[in-house]
Amino acid sequence: MLLMPVSVLAEDVQGTRDISAWVICLGVCCMLLVRYLLVRRILPLVQFHRLNEEARIVVSAVEGLLGRGSGEQKWAQALEFMAARGYKVDSEQVQESLKAAWQLLDMAQVLAGIKTIPEE
């Protein structure tokens, strides 16, 4: 397919050249570039954003269901919810997303005055 323009150059009919093969080749190259950008750049960002949103939703749900305290039970419940949503809970990325979502929730509770910062 990529060698098609070379074959077109060899076929010269009455001094005019057909550029349709060049246009097709350019179109194929553009489609390959778009596919590369989608697969390598955009889809990982979308998946990362989706994972973080799912973790935030799960953490909020678990916090609402079980209330304050009982950290180990909430962690187990959050992992169970993430597994039910189709995520591999053994993955470091899933666990880090859950921890980050819990930190965001803690900070939101501190800012709202619901929770106090533990003194060290």
Tally DSSP H helices, then E strands, for the chain.
5, 0
Closest Cα partner for 106 from 97, 118, 115, 98? 115
Q: Is the pTM of this model over 0.75?
A: no
What's the token pair of residue 58?
Answer: 């799960």
Dump pLDDT digits (tens) for 12-60: 555 556 788 888 889 999 999 999 988 888 888 888 999 999 999 999 9
